[in-house]
Amino acid sequence: MTFLKLIFCLCVLCFTHASSFGQKTLWASKVLGYSSEHRPDSYGYAYRARQILGEPNKLPTFGNSPCAWSPADFESRNEEWIKVGFAESMTASQIAVGENFNPGAIARVYVYNDAGKEFLVYENRPEKTAVRGRMLNILLPEKIQGANAVKVILQPDKVPGANQLDAIAMADHQSLVVAHINLAGDLPKDLVKENLGKNINTKGQEINPIISQDGKTLYFTRSSYMENTGTLSKQDVWFSKLSDRGNWGKAVNIGEPINNPGNNAVVSVSSDQKTLYLINHYRPGGTMFFGLSKSAFTSSGWSFPQDLKIKDLYNDQQDGMDVTISANENVMILSVQRRDTEGDKDLYVSFLQPDQSWTEPLHMGKTINTADYEGTPSLALDNRTLYFASKGHSGYGGSDIFISRRLDDSWTNWSKPANLGPLVNTPQWDMYFNIPASGDYAYFNSSENSLGSEDIFRLTLPPLLKPEPVAIIAGSVLSAETNKPINAALVVDLKKNNEVFSKMNFDLSKGNYQLTLPVKELYRITASEKGYFSTTEEVDLTTESDFRTIALNLILQPLKVGQQIRLSNTMFLQSSSEVSKTAFPQLDRIVETLKEYPTMEILLEGHTDNQGEVAKNVKLSEERVIEVKKYLLTKGIEDKRIQTKAWGPAKPIASNATEQSRQRNRRVEFTILKM
């Protein structure tokens, strides 16, 4: 037999794909056949043959992994085999087989070309090795043209325990193929992981940090602590406030009704901090069962948690779940185990419906989910950046934290998860990752250098780990007549296409409203309430690139005779009477008001700035109000209910000295003549 050059590679980090010299490495993309596969569960694909496909999931760390192929009989006296194919043929110079657990059972390796010819490239007497795992690199003395398949044969009885293969690669070069961790990037060397100290952390367990959007309140889960409501093994919700000096105050137990003798935990907090989302359903008497709830902050404290209804959440046996709620409270990401799981818990998405129920959880796809555990999701405020923990993507320990970004609106198409690196992730247990709107710090769990079993740490967040910046819009809805807050429904849409971005109800008893909006967009915020004409304010974030806060009160005009209501000053195209499509929603609200009050009559008045000839401006303002009237007539409003008046530049409401102020003068108003 021809001598073959063998190298067992134990490297930790390296590149696996094409180099600058045009080298190519392909990982197996299809299973062509196998002798058997381990099937410990009736659902999912743990240890199945398909787990050998693609890049390694366990290597460069070693150990048992459901993301690797394992034969059904761990110590079978019969040979076991698996044959894989590749996306394309190549001239093979190297074969690499990832043995992540109990290496040494490989007896033979064959390569096949396009014509189906078989080449024996490795033959060995199987025996137990001194290492937990390895990358078996087979360097071919003679290149094989048109190679497109590889077959690996094991003798399981020669190496006690499960023999697992993580991945198989074929390369056109002899630079060693090794596994690598897909890092998010090069983190600054001066970053420091900071333990939040004894005001937060104890000798017990502190996990699941949930930071409010303003970064000033930290909720977390504490267990193994004598001052908890239940037994030592049960969890309670605690919180801490950030002082003006930037220090976290002594943590306080949030108390009843959120804490009871069962397991209690906050999974998300609303943007206005008036709603907490909680694990489990609560029942009078302190009993709980699997599900989700929410509690509202009232003048007398937190309300008794109310159930969230999620369609078909209970279609399998459950042992808990992790959840995150979007900033707009209309998207939920869950870590649960269901019939369509890849293996252990997977990430699913659910959407809020008009009746306040949630859709059946939708699997978020195999880019994120693996046959091992995925959990502790945290959706950033940009609604696109997801942080989560996984044991199924290559990392440093039992569970690492990863980042992935949503690529479209399907919520099932995500970027390849990137590991947050060795400063965040350790050989131990690393989960949970939460950031405020400013994106200045990340709060997460680690057991390394902790005061107890697990502690809460924070880290100054480098740009490459940050989500897209957002703006927080906050204020009240006021009556123009009394200047006092009133209840109202708020709708945010994108001006470019009239698409609704979010909805919420402003309850004056809860204080200010608060909205979180990703930058780089032009938004319209509309407030409406019965007995008032709805108002719309534009928020232009198109040129923003950093986090900011904006104070914005929304003023509603009461519907009564003599009331004058100003419409948006961007209803028309420049120097034109053509109504912009972006103005249709506002005009439709006039239609709705006129239909709600069938005896109402109005006067439409048109205005311009003072640029150009007065006569032309008067004519333009006349044409504009006529176009608005035409639109209302097409919606079924009677002609006799609408009068018009053109003023041109005669009644400015702002200076004409600048373009910005002149824009305010280019407007249409209507006055209620009769109710």
Q: Are 579 and 635 in contact (CB under 8 A)?
A: no
pLDDT in the model for residue 558 = 93
Considering the chain, what percentage of its residues have pLDDT values greater than 90? 69
34-66 per-position pLDDT tens digit: 999 999 988 899 999 999 999 999 999 999 999
Average of per-residue pLDDT across 14-42 = 81
pLDDT in the model for residue 504 = 83
Rounded to 10 deg, the angle between the 584-596 and 614-634 helix axes is 60
pLDDT in the model for residue 663 = 76
pLDDT in the model for residue 145 = 97
Calculate Rg over the CA atoms of the chain: 32
Answer whether CATH 3.40.50.1220 is correct for domain 5-171. Answer: no
Residue 8 has pLDDT above 80, yes or no: no
Q: For residue 549, what pLDDT band results from cuts at 50, 70 and 90?
A: very high
Q: What is the overall mean pLDDT for the chain? A: 90
pLDDT in the model for residue 21 = 57
* CA–CA distance, 96 with 27 (Å, rounded to integer): 9
pLDDT in the model for residue 317 = 53
pLDDT in the model for residue 161 = 92
Annotated domain spans of the chain: 5-171, 202-465, 469-558, 559-675
Average of per-residue pLDDT across 147-154 = 98
pLDDT in the model for residue 283 = 93
Average of per-residue pLDDT across 153-158 = 96
381-431 per-position pLDDT tens digit: 999 999 999 999 999 988 999 999 999 999 999 999 999 999 889 888 889
478-501 per-position pLDDT tens digit: 999 999 999 999 999 998 888 888
CATH topology classification for 469-558: Immunoglobulin-like (2.60.40)
282-339 per-position pLDDT tens digit: 999 888 988 999 999 988 899 999 999 999 987 555 678 899 999 889 999 999 999 8
Q: What count of other Cβ atoms lies within 10 Å of the Cβ of residue 496?
A: 12
Residue 567 has pLDDT above 90, yes or no: no
Task: Look up tokens 């509202």; give the residue.
Answer: 296
527-543 per-position pLDDT tens digit: 999 999 988 888 999 99
Q: For residue 13, what pLDDT band results from cuts at 50, 70 and 90?
A: very low
Least confident of 158-172, 541-555, 599-613: 599-613
SS (H, E, C) 500-567: EEEEEEECHHHCCEEEEEECCCEEEEEEECCCEECEEEEEECCCCCCCEEEECCEEEEECCCCCEEEC
- Do domains 469-558 and 559-675 share one topology? The answer is no
Per the model's pLDDT, the better-predicted residue between 260 and 661 turns out to be 260
* CA–CA distance, 157 with 246 (Å, rounded to integer): 61
pLDDT in the model for residue 17 = 45
| 3-class SS of residue 180 | coil
Answer whether CATH 2.120.10.30 is correct for domain 202-465. Answer: yes
* CA–CA distance, 303 with 184 (Å, rounded to integer): 41
Average of per-residue pLDDT across 108-119 = 97
Residue 467 has pLDDT above 50, yes or no: yes
Q: Are 254 and 239 in contact (CB under 8 A)?
A: yes
* CA–CA distance, 535 with 559 (Å, rounded to integer): 12
Residue 354 has pLDDT above 50, yes or no: yes
Superfamily in which the 559-675 domain is placed by CATH? OmpA-like domain (3.30.1330.60)
Please give the biggest Cα pair distance in the chain.
103
Average of per-residue pLDDT across 3-10 = 39
